[in-house]
Amino acid sequence: MKKSLLIFFLSFFGLLFSQTEKDLYGKWGGIDAGNYGSFTFFDDGYVKVQLNGLDIDGRNHVIPDGPNKGKVAHVKYTTDFSKKIIKFSLVASYNDFNNKPEESKFLNGLIKFINENEFLLFFDFENENPEDIDPTSPNVIKLHKEKSL
C-alpha cells in the first residue's frame, strides 16, 4: 500500500512540473554579459529575438547585410519536449534570387525550465549537441517570463 501511494504521488507531482510547448509561449527576458535581451516565442512557431543589439522579428525580418541584404526573412523555432531538457532550433527562411524558398537551421540549443517563470537557455554555437546544460557556461542565459501570450 505504501509503495502504491509513493508511486502515485511521484507520478502526480511529476506531471505538475512537466513542461509543454504552451509553457514556452510569451516574452522572456534576461541579462547576458551585462546587456538585456529577450526572446518572444509565439504559438505559431515564430520567434522575436532582441539581444546585444540584434533585433530580429521572426515574422518579418529584413536582412540588414550580406548577399541577401534587403530580403525579407522569417525565423521560426522548433522544439522537442519529449525530455526534461528541451532541444530547440532556430530556422530562417527566405526566397533566393530565383524566388525559390531557402531554409536554414542556423542555431541549436537547449532549454531547461527552472520553474514556470524562468528557464536556462543554452546556445550550441560549437554544434557539440550536449544532453544537459552547464549553468556556468558563457553560452547560457537565464530568462524570466515577462509576458504571457
Q: Per-residue pLDDT tens for 127-143?
A: 999 999 999 999 999 99
Cell triple for 84: 526534461
Model confidence at 18, pLDDT cuts 50, 70, 90, reads low
Backbone angles phi, psi at 143, to 5 degrees: -110, 145
Sheet containing strand 140-147, strands side by side: 54-57, 47-51, 35-41, 26-32, 140-147, 118-123, 101-115, 86-95, 72-80, 61-62
Q: What average pLDDT does the segment 118-126 reach?
A: 96
E strand residue ranges, 1-149? 26-32, 35-41, 47-51, 54-57, 61-62, 72-80, 86-95, 101-115, 118-123, 140-147
The percentage of the chain sitting over the pLDDT mark of 90, rounded to a whole number, equals 64
Chain centroid, CA 27 distance in Å: 11
Distance CA 39, CA 50 (A): 6
| The CATH number fitting domain 20-147, selected from 1.20.120, 3.40.1710, 2.40.128, 1.10.287 | 2.40.128
The pTM is what? 0.82
> pLDDT tens, 60-73?
999 898 888 888 99
At 20 the pLDDT is 80
Q: Domain residue spans in the chain?
A: 20-147
Name the residue with cell 517563470: 117
Distance CA 143, CA 29 (A): 5
Q: What are the contacts of 37-42 at 24+ separation with CB within 8 A? A: 37/141, 38/143, 38/146, 39/121, 39/143, 40/147, 40/149, 41/77, 41/149, 42/149
Cell triple for 23: 509553457
